[in-house]
Structure 1
Amino acid sequence: MLRKNYIMAPGPTPVPIDILLAGAKETIHHRTPQFLEIIEKTLEEAKYLFQTSNRVYVFVSSGTGAMEAAVTNLVNPGEKAIVVVSGKFGERWKEICQAFGIDVVEIALEWGEAVTPEQIEKAMKENPDAKVIFTTHSETSTGTVMDLKAIAELTRNTDRVLVTDEVSGLLAEPLKMDEWGVDVVVSGSQKGIMMPPGLGFITLSKKAWALVEQNKCPKYYYDLRYYDKNYPDNPWTPAVNMIYMLNQSVKMLKEEGIENIWNRHRVLGEATRAAVKALGLELFSKRPGNVCTAVTVPAGVDGKKITKIMRDKYGVTIAGGQEHLANKIFRIAHLGYVSLFDSITAISALEFTLHELGYPVKFGEGVKAAMEIFHREGVAG
């Protein structure tokens, strides 16, 4: 039987054809006035995605490259940094810091838990010499979102610099960088921005730039002073055709509108969570967000087979658990270029798969629950 493929994993996410076609344009030289005009306009418009008036710098990298840039431009070797570790990507902050000789003050949480403002405040009081706090707005490995706005309230009128990983959270979760007082935001192209992997982004407040100017951590490619001096030009060779795609992506996202984008992800997240519960499954996260829904694998079912059957038989790619959660959870994304029908397709594929693996499923219960959310929200019907 004919099979269509659906990406319902939290990155890379589906890419609209108009964005792909934008990348198929002729590659022009990156030091010409013609390209500089394109990248200048694109980066200016990209500020909208972060809800900031600060410059947005772009790297030829994944989101991890932007994370490394944040670490190496803000903290010196031997200095303290507070790092929230509640999943795989909080661990990444920790590992990058340790790789550059930074003294990590770890706020360690169980995977699936979200850090609280009280925990951040306690770490700040106990470590007055730790000027930078590294957080993860959306912990993709567990489907958990933290209260970034409340945490920013603790740091905005202090000399502390709040950094957040928005690689998956950007556009799926509300973010008002300037209004909330978030100092540094990093992200990547292959999630909510609806592009292929290949670009990393960072934007910084004036308070954060004061640390950049004084920083002595060894670096070269990711030295933000080079990027700022050459802005909007890139100090190194930029990904010309990816900038074309970014230009098209920003146009499409601005046309939809940031509030509408946030709301779309909220509705998709609520519908997926309702579907999972209707099937008798348990959510893994204690504070689930709108990037992906992490689901506990039911007893007696092989979690690896869930992802394999959905992908290889039904054409729906979801994600399994990482590290110690392998085979214990699976994650269904609702991120980026995803509609209600994509989510319904993923839920129906999950129903088929669970039935095949011997889990008691009443066909249509999950789909029905999702559709009721879509109807309630005025999305359909």
Structure 2
Amino acid sequence: MLLMIPGPVNLHERVIRAMCRQMIGHRTEDFSQILYFCYKNLKKVFGTKGDVFIISGSGTAGLEAAIASFSNVNKMLTIENGKFGERLGEIASKYCNVHRIRYDWGKSIELDDVENALSDGCDAVVFVHNETSTGILNPAKQIAKIAEKYNALVIMDAITSAGGDYVKMDEWGIHVTIAGSQKCIGAPPGLAFVAVSEEAWSFYNSKCPYYLDLASYRKKLEDFQTPYTPAVPLFFALEEALRIIEEEGLENRIQRHRILNSSIRKWALEAGLELFPQLNRYSSYSNTITAIKIPKKISDRELR
């Protein structure tokens, strides 16, 4: 079966075989070596020298871990121009005061709106880099640049961009970045990755959920362990998926996505179809997802 969805993606045969290995003890040196390999390679995917924590849970678990652990803020700005931006707003609302900038799905973020909110007292901003629901790539670098003027924390959801497009966390000035195993990384669903800069810890809130407290993951990472029992087969699969990325080369992988995505957009436009995102000078089409408006005479059910 060909999965024409953002994720989970079809798995490489090597990843499937790796996942089917016999179990090992998760407190052994063997597991620590696997975790170390995943850790150092995920740092390359995220473009960071900071720590990367691996949580057994969906990408949403990673989002909640990041927002809850770094919710010691006066007010958090959430930027929402699609389903997953809205999810960030819903999560943040459970942990701190929130100012939500909401756009119609597919519309581009206006940087003046971001500037106004940050100048009005928001000291953290959270947004989606690659909005899965609409196929739009939001201007991460520009948002982070504005946040830097106000010494604001920057949290970025890169669940459908990490591994398939450029994510330059340190260079762009992003403090916390989240991704998941089942999208561009090419592993099964069930693991979340949270990359954290040293600066982010000044916003740490110890009153966060027990299982999602990133301080616990930070402490255990000193020994390349996880604080709680990990999904061992998924770590086997992740290790192999990251080996495949290493062999292909991250740059080559990103360019492969770019070529294929451009071809799909070209086909859609030549077929008289309309792309969903409404771009401005700062946004662009996603490198990993193509969102096309369904023609009026066809229902969603008929298309499926």
Normalising by structure 1, what TM-score? 0.75
- The residue aligned with 1:189 is 181
1:157 Cα shift?
Answer: 5.7
The answer to whether residue 99 in structure 2 is matched with residue 109 in structure 1 is no
The answer to whether residue 173 in structure 2 is matched with residue 173 in structure 1 is no
The answer to whether residue 95 in structure 2 is matched with residue 96 in structure 1 is no
**In the TM superposition, what are the counterparts of 1:41-190 in structure 2 within 5 Å?**
41-76=37-72, 79-100=74-95, 102-127=96-121, 130-156=122-148, 158-190=150-182
Structure 1 residues 156 and 171, CA gap change in structure 2 (3 angstroms): farther
**Structure 1 Cα separation of the partners of residues 236 and 296 of structure 2:** 47
1:8 Cα shift?
Answer: 1.2
SS at match of 2:85: helix
In structure 1, runs of 5+ residues without a counterpart are 308-381
- The counterpart of 1:292, out of the listed 253, 266, 289, is 289
| 1:133-170: CA deviation from partner (whole Å, max 9, x where unpaired) | 01000111111111112222223465211111011121
CA RMSD of aligned residues (A): 1.5
Q: Which moved more, 1:116-125 or 1:52-61?
A: 116-125
| 1:175-212: CA deviation from partner (whole Å, max 9, x where unpaired) | 11111111110010000000110000101111112212
Say which one has the larger Rg: 1
1:173 Cα shift?
Answer: 2.4
- Check conservation: 2:206, 2:213, Cα contact below 8 A: no
**Structure 1 Cα separation of the partners of residues 163 and 278 of structure 2:** 21
- The counterpart of 1:259, out of the listed 247, 251, 260, is 251
**In the TM superposition, what are the counterparts of 1:241-252 in structure 2 within 5 Å?**
241-252=233-244
1:223 Cα shift?
Answer: 0.7
| 1:260-293: CA deviation from partner (whole Å, max 9, x where unpaired) | 1221111111111111111111111113212211
**Structure 2 Cα separation of the partners of residues 269 and 8 of structure 1:** 13
The answer to whether residue 226 in structure 2 is matched with residue 226 in structure 1 is no
After TM superposition, where is structure 1 displaced by more than 3 Å over at least 4 residues in a row?
A: none
1:62 Cα shift?
Answer: 0.5
SS at match of 1:233: coil
Q: Which moved more, 1:267-276 or 1:286-295?
A: 286-295
| 1:20-59: CA deviation from partner (whole Å, max 9, x where unpaired) | 1111111101011221122122212221111111111000
- Check conservation: 2:118, 2:150, Cα contact below 8 A: no
SS at match of 2:78: strand
- The residue aligned with 1:210 is 202
1:216 Cα shift?
Answer: 3.7
- The counterpart of 2:7, out of the listed 8, 11, 25, is 11
In structure 2, runs of 5+ residues without a counterpart are 280-284
SS at match of 1:197: coil
Aligned amino acid, residue 267 of structure 1: I
**Structure 2 Cα separation of the partners of residues 53 and 67 of structure 1:** 20
Normalising by structure 2, what TM-score? 0.94
Q: Give aligned pairs, total.
A: 297
Q: Percent identity?
A: 33
- Check conservation: 1:282, 1:296, Cα contact below 8 A: yes
Aligned amino acid, residue 99 of structure 2: V
SS at match of 1:162: strand
**Structure 1 Cα separation of the partners of residues 109 and 164 of structure 2:** 19
- Check conservation: 1:83, 1:107, Cα contact below 8 A: yes
**Structure 2 Cα separation of the partners of residues 83 and 135 of structure 1:** 6
Which of the pair has the greater relative contact order for Cα pairs under 8 Å at 6+ separation?
A: 2
**Structure 2 Cα separation of the partners of residues 114 and 173 of structure 1:** 19
- The residue aligned with 1:280 is 272
**Structure 1 Cα separation of the partners of residues 93 and 117 of structure 2:** 18
SS at match of 1:44: helix
**Structure 1 Cα separation of the partners of residues 252 and 217 of structure 2:** 32
- The residue aligned with 2:282 is none
Aligned amino acid, residue 154 of structure 1: I
SS at match of 2:76: strand
**Structure 2 Cα separation of the partners of residues 154 and 63 of structure 1:** 26
- Check conservation: 1:116, 1:147, Cα contact below 8 A: no
**Structure 2 Cα separation of the partners of residues 247 and 218 of structure 1:** 29
1:234 Cα shift?
Answer: 0.4
Q: Which moved more, 1:198-207 or 1:108-117?
A: 108-117
- The counterpart of 2:24, out of the listed 24, 28, 31, is 28
| 1:99-146: CA deviation from partner (whole Å, max 9, x where unpaired) | 23x22101111110121333211211122xx22101000111111111
